[in-house]
């Protein structure tokens, strides 16, 4: 399966064949390979916009803030869609209570009220407009390319499973707060892209640009992760889940195998290198172990933040501009 619908890594294509992707990612692809029309990643991006719009409508900052006497809404001219006071949510979004209603992760509700669906629903939640903008641009830039090359099934699996994994880790370390988890799924795609870069190293024509893209997107989203309602534990968990899934789902056949019919002295060639298979087995072991350990800890009500006082700064760093008590 992994070799039937992804781009070829060799140079055996027709002369003059043009690439659709940015030139810094790959060498010339095999013209016979199947290229997917991306629709799932744009659907994810549109869903994220719709969910945030619905959350802002329900939030109704002017009505609820006036009743609570907690300060002025930001951009009040937007009326019902005005943002919470910046000290409460500097990312231009709704209140933590509204996000909780929409399914944000919260340790108490998951562990003691058995609302186990929250690690899934949180995948579609953003803390605000700034968070949504950063995630959407990153998702479109990275996700569409991956979906074109590997298809919607594999990219969809990586996105959802990484989101759940990141939100499970996030829940273990935010016992006293509320957090959204959309970036966990995005970091899963980043992790998968890194795994693909490692396993398919020889087909990248400009490895420095590919690595720079990963670092830039990761840095921007990690910076957002120290603000209220977003946390870097979700980012870390999502990244490692996607990283291990990338070794499993994004492996590409070695060049000699894809060109076996064109070789004059063809001999039986293994579809994958031995190193690729070793990384696949190790990735499956680490992925399953991580999920089992995380879920067992969550079911037992473990609070990961106890005994780790510095861990709270990965969740939110308080400043004079905002408060981390959500």
Q: Which residues are catalytic?
A: 183, 235
Long-range contacts of 156-160 (CB under 8 A, 24+ apart): 156/40, 157/245, 157/249, 158/188, 158/189, 158/192, 158/242, 158/245, 158/246, 158/249, 159/44, 159/123, 159/185, 159/188, 159/189, 160/120, 160/123, 160/185
CA distance 109 to 95: 17
- Contact predicate 184/159, CB 8 Å: no
CA distance 233 to 225: 8
Phi-psi region of 293 (alpha: psi -120 to 50; beta: other; left: phi over 0): alpha
Q: At what angle do helices 274-299 and 152-173 cross, to 10 degrees?
A: 40
HSE of 198, CA atoms in CB hemisphere, 13 A: 20
CA distance 104 to 180: 5
CA distance 199 to 46: 31
Q: Exposure of 12 by Cβ count < 10 A (0-12 exposed, 13-18 middle, 19+ buried)?
A: middle
């Amino acid at each position: 399966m992994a070799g039937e619908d992804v781009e070829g890594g060799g140079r055996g294509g027709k002369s003059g064949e043009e690439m659709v992707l940015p030139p810094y990612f790959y060498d010339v692809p095999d013209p016979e390979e199947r290229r997917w029309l991306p629709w799932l990643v744009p659907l994810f991006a549109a869903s994220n916009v719709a969910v945030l719009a619905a959350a802002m409508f329900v939030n109704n900052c002017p009505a609820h803030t006036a009743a609570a006497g907690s300060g002025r809404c930001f951009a009040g001219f937007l009326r019902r869609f005005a943002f919470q006071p910046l000290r409460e949510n500097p990312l231009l979004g709704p209140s933590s209570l509204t996000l909780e209603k929409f399914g944000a992760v919260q340790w108490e509700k998951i562990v003691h009220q058995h609302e186990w669906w929250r690690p899934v629903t949180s995948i579609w939640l953003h803390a605000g407009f700034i968070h949504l903008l950063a995630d959407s641009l990153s998702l479109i830039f990275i996700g569409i390319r991956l979906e074109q090359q590997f298809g919607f099934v594999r990219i969809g699996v990586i996105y959802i499973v990484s989101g759940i994994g990141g939100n499970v880790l996030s829940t273990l370390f935010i016992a006293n707060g509320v957090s959204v988890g959309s970036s966990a799924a995005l970091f899963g795609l980043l992790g998968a892209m890194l795994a693909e870069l490692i396993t398919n190293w020889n087909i990248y024509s400009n490895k420095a640009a590919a690595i720079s893209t990963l670092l830039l997107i990761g840095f921007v989203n990690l910076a957002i992760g120290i603000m209220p309602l977003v946390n870097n534990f979700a980012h870390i968990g999502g990244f490692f889940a996607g990283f291990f899934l990338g070794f499993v789902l994004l492996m590409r056949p070695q060049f000699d195998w894809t060109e076996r019919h064109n070789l004059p002295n063809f001999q039986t060639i293994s579809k994958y290198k031995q190193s690729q298979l070793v990384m696949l087995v190790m990735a499956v072991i680490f992925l399953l172990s991580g999920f089992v350990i995380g879920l067992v800890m969550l079911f037992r009500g473990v609070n990961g933040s106890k005994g780790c006082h510095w861990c709270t700064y990965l969740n939110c760093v308080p400043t004079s501009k905002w408060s981390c008590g959500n």
